[in-house]
Amino acid sequence: MTQSQSASSTKPERIVVTGGAGFVGSRLVARLLDDGHHVVVLDDLFTGRKDNLPLGHARLEFVLGSVTDFALVKDVLRGAAIVFHEAARNIIVSTKDPRQDYEVNIGGTLNVLLAARETPGLRRTVYASSASVYGNPRYLPINEDDATNMLSPYSVSKYAGESYCKAFYESYGLSSSSVRYSNVYGPGQRADNPYCGVIAKFFEAAMAGEAPRIHGDGEQTRDYTYIDDVVEATILAGMLPKADGQVYNVGTGRETTVNQLARTIIAVTGASMEPQWVDRRDIDNIRRRVVNIEKLRRELRWVPRVTVENGLRRTYEWMTSAKTAGP
């Protein structure tokens, strides 16, 4: 059985995606629809966009609302077999407003788990976590059982969500799995979203003939992961029995400096400039990051298929076509 077959060979089901109008959520929704499932999206459109979704699709329902509304979450989950919990305030919002981070990322996750516990027939809750929970690691690559070190309100809330998943699994037998994403990028990540990732911003600058702005010296590293690989890993964590109660790193196992990233993007766009180095931001407190993906490879037979170079080319092609198409 191939990787894609193992993730999509189950019979069509009703599946809920919280935060389904966001970058990762909307790509997950598209894949689930392609696999024949009926998908319900719950999103408050704080950073998500309706035009990320194929509204009007016969098997797609969109519900405008927040995971902070327990009654609404409970109603949305009715009849669902799986819930993919992608809704969250990201690191920039969380750092600016820790209370909102707490209410959405922690309170919202608790609501999803409480509602899942009360939903007959719900088979699995998949929680979208983050490699930010590791902070500045002592060893590289980072294993799932390495020490955590929360350096931002966002990482605190993401780890709290994981902890609630584990507690509900141990206390109530609620099936769940957590996926720790590492720097997701790719088509669908819009540069006009003020909360988007660095890759979309670098592309926007290079395509406009402007120097990509690097915060700090640019020698900080990340493990940049292409969106389609992330979606595949997330679905496997929801569909396969082996993932029950587990936590998985989702990355490439390859360390890339921000300077390398910027220069690759400049080359891909055919631009001719040097990056611009500016002051480090408060959120830029992780020096190096690369995750070990052996557990996900061994247990769920997942491997990343898209290299950073190929992923950046695909992203550039999408951004070029999106710009041509207009708003």
154 among known catalytic residues = yes
The whole-angstrom separation of Cα 170 and Cα 141 is: 28
CA–centroid distance for 35 within its chain = 20
**Is-contact 129 123, C-beta < 8 A?**
no
> Considering 127, 134, 154, 224, which one is annotated as catalytic?
154
φ, ψ at 257 (rounded to 5°): -75, 155
CA–centroid distance for 307 within its chain = 18
**Is-contact 200 208, C-beta < 8 A?**
no
- The DSSP bridge pattern shows strands 247-250 and 176-181 to be parallel
* Helices (H), ranges, 69-214: 70-77, 91-96, 98-101, 108-117, 153-172, 198-207
CB atoms within 10 A of CB 276: 12
Q: Catalytic amino acids?
A: 154
